[in-house]
Amino acid sequence: MSSCIPSCCCPCIQFGLNQRMAFGASAVKWTVLWLLPLFLLYALVNHLVPPTAAEHANRNPMTMSVADAIVSNVEQKMGKGHPQQGGLAAHTPSSHGKAGGHHPRPSPPFSSPSAEVGAGVLSAPAEGMSRSTAYSYALPFAMMLIGAVGAWRRGLLREKYGIGGSALSDFVCHAACCCCSIAKEAREIRHQAIEEALAGAEQDLSGDP
């Protein structure tokens, strides 16, 4: 149970701890490397798939990522940056108004159709594949990359401790159920550590070099 709960709640940390216990490697480095495929595919989807109109309207500045916040800020500045023409003419009285004592009524601000269309495109993107759908398509590829990393380290673990198995089975287990595979490896590493400690103690008691 001591390895099942961490493996189910946060498998990346347990994977890093396994690498430290088995090979003396950095737990932080292997935690980040285990998460790297998820980070890369998340950034790739955010870059290639624009938000739909519904996602654009439901954006919450408190919950969006840093990249989404930067893109939203740029879009808002571009949408509000259209110059309004005719403002100088509206506040400058004509010569006829000076002579007759009558000031012309200010004209409304000029808004071109192209500016309105540009603002509409920035505020409401065209409908297409949503990011949630793109994430669901990208998740299997992320799990395959995680399975490749897990199978590589599992192969080194089997070679060190003489554990049976194959590379294909390691890949399938880590890609399909990484939590169970990482928990199993943690138990195997502890079991091997206990056996090595008992063997060392037995040698010390027997006096063998």
Taking 80 as the threshold, does the pLDDT of residue 121 lie above it? no
What residues have CB less than 8 Å from 208, skipping those under 6 apart? none
Q: Model confidence over 14-62: pLDDT tens digits?
A: 999 999 999 999 999 999 999 999 999 999 998 998 887 666 666 665 6
Residues 78-91: what's their mean pLDDT? 46
Query: 122 in a domain, yes or no?
Result: yes
Q: Which of 61, 96, 128 is the last residue of a domain?
A: 128
pLDDT at 157 over 70: yes
CA distance 175 to 37: 12
Flag whether 107 is in a domain.
no
160 neighbors 22 (Cβ within 8 angstroms)? yes
Distances (CA, A) of 60 to 51, 55, 56, 68: 13, 10, 9, 10
Q: If you average pLDDT over every residue of the chain, what do you get? A: 76
Residue 103 lies inside a defined structural domain of this protein? no
Same domain, yes or no: 124 and 136: no
For the chain, what is the domain count?
2
Q: pLDDT band for 169, please (50, 70, 90 cuts).
A: very high
Query: Contact at 8 Å (CB) between 72 and 59?
Result: yes
- Specify if 101 maps to a domain: no
Range(s) of the domain holding residue 57:
53-77+114-128
Q: Give the integer Cα–Cα distance in Å for 110 and 49.
A: 35
Q: Are residues 165 and 148 in the same domain?
A: yes
Residues 38 and 18 in one domain: yes
